[in-house]
């Protein structure tokens, strides 16, 4: 199977799994999946988040997801338990479609590492 086809198949598996678990089967978009990764990484699963905290959760997720690609590196946890990352390498300029593919690839890799999908 071609690399793009495998990525598409795995991405659809992640979306299906998360949509069934968190959205009553309504398909989640890329931002919603990134948000859920942020919540998972923070580890504070059963609390409500303010608007600015939701943006921070997405930032945490993006840093964590792109860490294996060499763009970010974990730095420390602050006193509230929020992880902080430092930039290792600037992301190259990407078009919107290219950003989407990179994030989907990173999300699929994350769920493979966590052994949630195969």
* Residue 7: closest CA among 91, 114, 115, 106: 106
pLDDT, position 54: 95
Inside any domain, residue 92: yes
What domain range includes position 83? 3-113
Rounded CA-CA distance 66/23 in Å is 25
What pLDDT does 45 receive? Answer: 83
Q: State the pLDDT at residue 8.
A: 94
Tens-digit pLDDT profile for residues 37-50:
999 999 988 889 99
Asked whether residue 50 is domain-assigned, the answer is yes
CA atoms within 13 A on the CB side of 64: 25
Task: Tell me the pairing of strands 72-77 and 83-87.
Answer: antiparallel
Tally of structural domains, the chain: 1
pLDDT score for 1 = 59
Q: How much is the pLDDT for 2?
A: 73
Within a domain: 91: yes
Answer whether residue 63 is part of any domain. yes
Task: Please tell me the total number of residues recorded for the chain in this structure.
Answer: 118
Asked if residue 113 has pLDDT above 80, the reply is yes
> For the chain, first and last CA: distance in Å?
14
So what's the pLDDT on residue 25?
86
**Is 79 among the domain residues?**
yes
Mean pLDDT value across residues 68-86: 96
CA distances from 110 to 40, 47, 64, 80, 93 (A): 11, 23, 9, 24, 23
Whether 35 is in a domain gets the answer yes
- pTM, two decimal places: 0.92
- pLDDT tens sequence across 19-38: 999 999 899 999 999 999 99
Instruction: Output the CA angle 92-98-101, nearest 5 degrees.
Output: 120
CA separation for the pair 12, 6 (Å, rounded): 10
Question: Has residue 118 been placed in a domain?
Answer: no
Mean pLDDT for the chain overall: 93
């Amino acid at each position: 199977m071609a690399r793009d086809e495998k990525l598409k198949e795995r991405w659809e598996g992640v979306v299906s799994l998360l949509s069934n678990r968190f959205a009553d089967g309504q398909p989640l978009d890329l931002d919603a999946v990134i948000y859920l990764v942020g919540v998972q990484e923070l580890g504070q699963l059963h609390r409500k988040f303010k608007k600015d905290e939701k943006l921070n959760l997405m930032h945490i997720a993006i840093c964590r997801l792109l860490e294996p690609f060499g763009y970010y590196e974990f730095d420390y946890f602050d006193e509230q338990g929020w992880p902080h990352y430092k930039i290792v390498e600037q992301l190259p300029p990407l078009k919107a479609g290219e950003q989407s593919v990179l994030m989907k690839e990173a999300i699929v890799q994350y769920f493979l590492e966590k052994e949630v999908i195969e």
